[in-house]
A and B are shown apart, each in its own frame.
Chain A
Amino acid sequence: MCGIVGLLVKKPALRERLGALMVPMLTGMTERGPDSAGLAVYTQPVSAHQHKISLYSGEHAADWPALLEHAAREFSGEHAIAAHGNQAVLTTAADADRVVSWLKHAAPTVAVLSVGQSIDLYKDVGAPADIARRYDFAALKGTHLVGHTRMATESAVTPAHAHPFTAGRDFCLVHNGSLSNPHLVRKRLEPLGIRFETDNDTEAACRFFEWRLREGDDLREAVTRGFAELDGFFTFLMGTGSEMLIVRDAFACKPAVVAESDDYVAIASEFRSLAHLPDISHATLFEPKPEEIYSWQV
C-alpha cells in the first residue's frame, strides 16, 4: 500500500500557497504510507542557460556553502545553493550532466535527487508529517506538486527507494501498486545505456517512460506504450515542467480520486486527503477510469 497526492493550481495567486495546501493532503495519506515520503515541486523555471540539481546528504553532515564554493571554482558561470538541512538545491549555469558527474567525485556522500529547470525534489524515510516539517513543505511555492507516502512491499526502506523517482530532466513519477516485470524492463533498458540506481520496481517504470520521452513520444504516447510493456498493478502520477498526469491499470486495483475546480486539480489515493481543500464541496469529484489517461497543463 502507498498514498499518492498531486496538486496543480490554476490561479497564479495560489502558487504562493501550493505547499500549505499540500501538507494536509500528504499527511492525510500517512496510514497508507507511514515509512517514507517525498514530493517534487515545480517552481518558476530558472533561466534558459541554468539548471537546478536537488541534492541529498542523508545522515552525512553536508557543508553546502563549501560545496557551492568548490563548484564555483570548478565551473564558470553563476552558481547558487539553497539548503534545507540534508537537502539542497544547487543552481548552476554549467552543463548539468558535467556537474552531476563531477559531484560523484567531489561529494561522494551526496545523492542527486533530480535535475531540471523547474523541479525541486525532497524525499526521506520517516513519518510524512515529520518529513513535511523537516523540509518545511508548507512554505513551498510553485505551479504543481507530485507527492507520495510509502509503505514498502517489494524493496528496502531507504531514502533512495522512496518516491518520487526521477529520470532525465524535470520528469518525476510516483506509484501506488507493484510491478511484476520490472527486471525484464530493466534488462531491456540497460543495453541502451540507461543506468539504474536501485532495485525498486517503480524506478523501472520511471526510466521506461523517460526513455520514451527522449525517443520522441509525448507523455501520453509513452504511457500508452507502457500498457503493453509494464505488467502489474499501478496508479501512476507523473509530473513534467508543464504537465501533471494520472493513469490507473486495467483492473483499477489501486484507488485514486480527482477533485477539479476553477482554482485547482487535486489528486489523492482517497478522498480523506482532499476533504480539507478550500471549497472542495464545489469541486467536481471523479475516479479515473482504468487505462484512461488524464492530464492537466500548467
Chain B
Amino acid sequence: MASLKPVPKLREFDLAAEPLRGLNRYLHQDAVADGISEIRIRNPDGAHSIAVGLNAPLDVHVHGHVGYYVAGMNCHANVTVHGNAGPGAAENMMSGRVHVKGFASTAAGASAHGGLLVIDGDASLRCGISLKGADIVVGGSVGSFSAFMAQAGRLVICGDAEDALGDSLYEAVIYVRGRVRSLGADARFEPMTDTDRAAVRGLLAAAGRDEDAGAFKRVASARSLYHWHADANQEY
C-alpha cells in the first residue's frame, strides 16, 4: 500500500511588517502545532536573534542579511541564511544544520555541541571558539584565533587561516586546505590518515562542496598543555 507523503506546508514571514518576537514565538510553538515544515523569512535587515532556540525539524530560509546570533542554540532545525550573518551565528547549536550562504562575522559556531554549520564565504575571527562537538565547514578563509580552546568536533577550512589557529586546542580537530599564518599554542600539524581523508570527504559532501579531501592538512592538539610543567617557565 502506497504511503501518503505529506505535502510540505509553507509559511512566509515579512520582518518589515511583522515583529521578530512573533516570528520566534511562531517557530517555537505554532509551526509545530500547525504542521508547517518550511518557513521563509523576508527582510531580515540585520535583525538579531532570528530563529534562535528552535527545537523541531523545521526548514527555515532567511532571505537577506542577519545580525547577531542567528539560529543560536539550534536543535533539529535546518536554517539557511541567503545572505551574510553577524556575530555568533549558530552559537551553542545542539543539532541540526545551519547554512550561511554569504560570510559570517566573529565567533561563528561558538560553543556548538552538535550539528553542522556551513559557511560558504569567509568566517571572521574566533570561528568555532570553544567548539564542543559540532562540525563546521568554511568555504572561504577564517580569521585569527579560530577553534580557540575547541574541545570536540571538527572545523574544515577550505581557504586560509589567520594567526593562532587552534590555540589551546583540546580534542577538536581542524582540517585546513590553504595557508596557515600561524598556529596557536599547543596546536600542531599532524599527518593525514585514511580516516582523516574519509572524514573530510564526508563533511565536504554534507556541505555540498567538491574540494579534494587529499589537499587538506590536519591540525590537532600536541597535548603539552594538558598537564602542568613546573619547568615550562610559563613560556607557552
Contacts and interface: CB of A to CB of B under 8 A. Distances in A.
Contacts of B47: 272
Contacts of B106: 252, 255
Given A255-B106, A290-B125, A275 B45 contact: yes
B65 interface: yes
A255 B87 contact: yes
A290 B67 contact: no
A270 interface: yes
Interface in B113-157: 124-125, 143-145
B175 interface: no
B105 A255 contact: yes
Interface in B59-80: 64-65, 67-68
A272 B67 contact: yes
B178 interface: no
A285 B84 contact: yes
A83 B46 CA distance: 36
A294 interface: no
B124 A287 contact: yes
B105 A287 contact: yes
A276 interface: yes
Contacts of B144: 250-251, 290
Contacts of B45: 271-272, 275-276
A270 B86 contact: yes
B46 A287 contact: no
A91 to B, nearest CB: 39
Contacts of B103: 286-287
Chain B contact residues: helix, strand, loop or mixed: loop
B133 to A, nearest CB: 26
Contacts of A285: 65, 84, 102
A275 B87 contact: no
Contacts of B46: 270-275
B211 to A, nearest CB: 23
Interface residues of B, number: 19
Interface in A255-298: 255, 270-276, 285-287, 289-290
Contacts of A255: 86-87, 105-106
Interface residues of A, number: 16
B94 to A, nearest CB: 26
A270 B87 CA distance: 10
A270 B67 contact: yes
B155 to A, nearest CB: 18
Contacts of B124: 252, 287
A252 B86 contact: no
B83 to A, nearest CB: 9
Contacts of B64: 275
A270 B46 CA distance: 7
Contacts of A272: 45-47, 67
Contacts of B68: 270
A275 B67 CA distance: 11
B65 A271 contact: yes
A10 B125 CA distance: 31
A89 B57 CA distance: 60
A270 B105 CA distance: 10
Contact of B143 (A252, A271, A274, A276): A252
A271 B125 contact: no
Contacts of A275: 45-46, 64-65
A273 B87 CA distance: 15
Contacts of A290: 125, 143-144
Interface of B: 45-47, 64-65, 67-68, 84, 86-87, 102-103, 105-106, 124-125, 143-145
26 contacts: A251-B125, A252-B106, A252-B124, A252-B125, A252-B143, A255-B86, A255-B87, A255-B105, A255-B106, A270-B46, A270-B67, A270-B68, A271-B86, A272-B45, A272-B46, A272-B47, A272-B67, A273-B46, A275-B45, A276-B45, A285-B84, A285-B102, A286-B103, A287-B105, A289-B143, A290-B125
Given A270-B46, A285-B102, 13 more contacts: A251-B125, A252-B143, A255-B86, A255-B106, A270-B67, A271-B45, A271-B67, A271-B86, A272-B47, A276-B45, A285-B84, A287-B124, A290-B125
